Structure formats: C-alpha cells, structure tokens
Amino acid sequence: MTEPTSKPELLDVSAASFDKLMALVGSLSPEQLEAEFAFEDRDRNVRDVLIHLHEWHRLLIEWVEANLAGDERPFLPDGYTWTDYAPLNVEIRDKHAETSVEDALEMVQASRAQVRELIQDRSDPELFENQHYPWTGTTSLGAYCVSTTSSHDDWAMKKLHDHARG
C-alpha cells in the first residue's frame, strides 16, 4: 500500500492496521500469549512486542506535545540517535519485564487512541507538509505518525505471525 498523503488516509490506514494487529493478538491462544518466542529476537514474547508499540506511541505523543508547547526537543530521548537507537528498544523491553500481557494490551490500546487523537487534532498541512514544524527536520509529522502506527503494526504482525506458526 502507498503511504498516506492526507489525514483521512492516515487515520484509515492506521486504524485498519491496528485492527488487523488486534485481531491477530485475539486469535492467539492463552498459551501463545504467554509463551516465549521460538526464534531468536530482541523481543521475546507477545508482551514485548505490544510494549514496544506502546512506548513508541508514547515517544511520538510526548515529542509532539512538548514541541507544540514550545519545549523544543528531539524525538528520541537523550543519548540516542537514529543511527544508534537499538539499546533504547532493549531498555523498553527490560523496563516492562514484569508487565503482564493483559496490561500491555490495555496500554497499547490506550496509547494508540491517544495517537489517533493527536492525528485528528492536526490539519493536512500540519501532518503532511515537509518542515511545517521546524522540529520535524526535513520530513513531515505525518511520516512520523506512519512510522509509529501502520509501519510499526506491520513489523509487529510479522513477529506475531512467526510466533503463531511456531
């Protein structure tokens, strides 16, 4: 599918991919929801994948809110760059080692609803005009939204499909 170029497209694509992801999670047995992945991966189970999505939603939300309030800051937390953010993903996983899969599911659903609201509150130019906001660099806010929604959902579904196949 081509990348969205308008707010309605972004909302539709994002909702469709999340619905597919939630259907996939819902199709997993209780044993699959709790089991460790049979393949080697940074994320070890369904909880880790859901928490990864949740925390990246939070990164987007907090970045947008801070910058709109005049607190200019980069997307990634201090100490991380786009060329070296793998340790951040490990930190996210480890931070939630005691989170249940049920809590992770609630958290990702809540944070995704907040991302949807963030998108709904922006106009097409705010979302899709490159450099509309100086803090988005050479890209658009919409591109960040795609990355943290449908693109990340596709990544998560691949992991969960691999897990379901055993």
Asked whether the CA dihedral 117, 68, 3, 75 is positive or negative, the reply is negative
Give the whole-angstrom CA distance, residue 102 versus residue 159. 18
Percentage of residues in the chain having pLDDT higher than 90: 96
- Residue 127 CA, distance from chain mean position: 17
Which residues lie below 8 Å from residue 81, measured CB to CB, with a gap of 6+? none
What are the angstrom distances between the C-alpha of 132 and each of 64, 100, 123, 126?
Answer: 13, 39, 11, 6
pLDDT band at 2 (very low <50, low <70, confident <90, very high): confident
The pLDDT of residue 1 is 56
Give the whole-angstrom CA distance, residue 97 versus residue 126. 37
The pLDDT of residue 40 is 87
Q: Which long-range contacts (CB under 8 A, 24 or more apart) does 81-87 make?
A: 86/42
- Is residue 45 over pLDDT 60? yes
| Per-residue model confidence as pLDDT tens digits over 102-144 | 999 999 999 999 999 999 999 999 999 999 999 999 999 999 9
What are the angstrom distances between the C-alpha of 161 and each of 17, 117, 128?
Answer: 14, 29, 32
Percentage of residues in the chain having pLDDT higher than 70: 99
CB 99 within 8 A of CB 47: yes
Supply the pTM of this predicted model.
0.96
Token pair belonging to 38 = 């049979």
- Is residue 37 over pLDDT 70? yes
Mean pLDDT of the chain: 96
Strand-pairing partners, residue 13, are none
Token pair belonging to 152 = 């990340």
If you search the block for the tokens 């990355």, which residue do you land on? Answer: 147
Domains in the chain, CATH or no CATH each: 7-165 (1.20.120.450)
What are the angstrom distances between the C-alpha of 82 and each of 76, 79, 86, 87?
Answer: 8, 11, 9, 11
pLDDT band at 156 (very low <50, low <70, confident <90, very high): very high
| Per-residue model confidence as pLDDT tens digits over 65-113 | 999 999 999 999 999 999 999 999 999 999 999 999 999 999 999 999 9
